[in-house]
Amino acid sequence: MDMPSEIQHQAMGYDRAATMFSPDGHLLQVEYAEKTVRLGSSSIGIVCTDGVVIVADRRVNDKLIVPESASKVYVIDDHIIASAAGILSDARVLVERGRIIAQQNRVTYDSPVEVEEIIRDIANAKQSYTQYGGARPFGVAIMVAGIDHDESKVFSSDITGNYFAYKAMAIGENDEKIKEMLRIRYNSNLNVNGGIKLALEIFKEILGKNFEISRFDVAYVNKEDKKYKRMDENTLKTIMK
């Protein structure tokens, strides 16, 4: 009986290095890393009329953990926030890289860095780890959202180092199901509160009885002052009414 191609490739050693192509053109280590991303907790990013918002599932139920220390929305600069799905220690390295780029831009040009500059640098770093031997690929998808010249922007980068701009995007567990729901329900006239409510309603349907407001980390950047802000649990409960 013929073995499936993936098992054949494993048996022949094509998955032993991120730089080794299988006969049908796959980088198996990269594809394994993509599966890791889908095991991570989900995040939703939405472009709104008055800003951008990221709603991230912390997936932390341990009462011994301080919730603020398990944040899933990271600050790159005053006007840029990010989230990740997959191996969060990998994400930390990439987020810190983005912060350095943002600060270097302020020191050099005395102006805030563009959102795409951050995601491009992160994506370039991820791509390089699929091309050179001696290290595994980054096992994380990164979503970056912010304001550029009064324009709301959301970008997402995958394992391979590709990135795209989105009106609404989801990464992590159930990402395809969430994106299908966003395609149906997303409205370009949503404001920040509307975007947060949409994301939480989608999570409520996905999680069912496991849905709790306290498990979500929510942050946004508005166009008015271009400063990131976080939503507390009481505010989120008000928005959901």
Q: What is the pLDDT of residues 45-96, one digit of tens each?
A: 999 999 999 999 998 777 788 877 888 999 999 999 999 999 999 999 999 9
Residue 7's pLDDT is: 58
d(CA 84, CA 145): 12
Give φ, ψ of 131 to 5 degrees: -115, -25
Residue 68's pLDDT is: 75
**Rounded average pLDDT over 132-146:** 90
Residue 9's pLDDT is: 56
**Rounded average pLDDT over 139-165:** 95
Beta bridge partners of 141: 85
The residue ranking higher by pLDDT, 74 or 31, is: 74
- Does residue 31 register a pLDDT over 90? no
* Domain 27-222 belongs in CATH node 3.60.20.10: yes
Q: Do 23 and 189 touch, CB atoms closer than 8 A?
A: no
* End-to-end Cα separation, the chain, in angstroms: 58
For residue 163, give Cα distances in angstroms to 3, 141, 146, 157. Answer: 34, 10, 15, 4
- Does residue 1 register a pLDDT over 50? no
Residue 16's pLDDT is: 74
Band (pLDDT 50/70/90 cuts) for residue 3 is very low
Lowest mean pLDDT of 124-133, 165-174, 178-187, name the range: 124-133
Q: Do 220 and 51 touch, CB atoms closer than 8 A?
A: yes
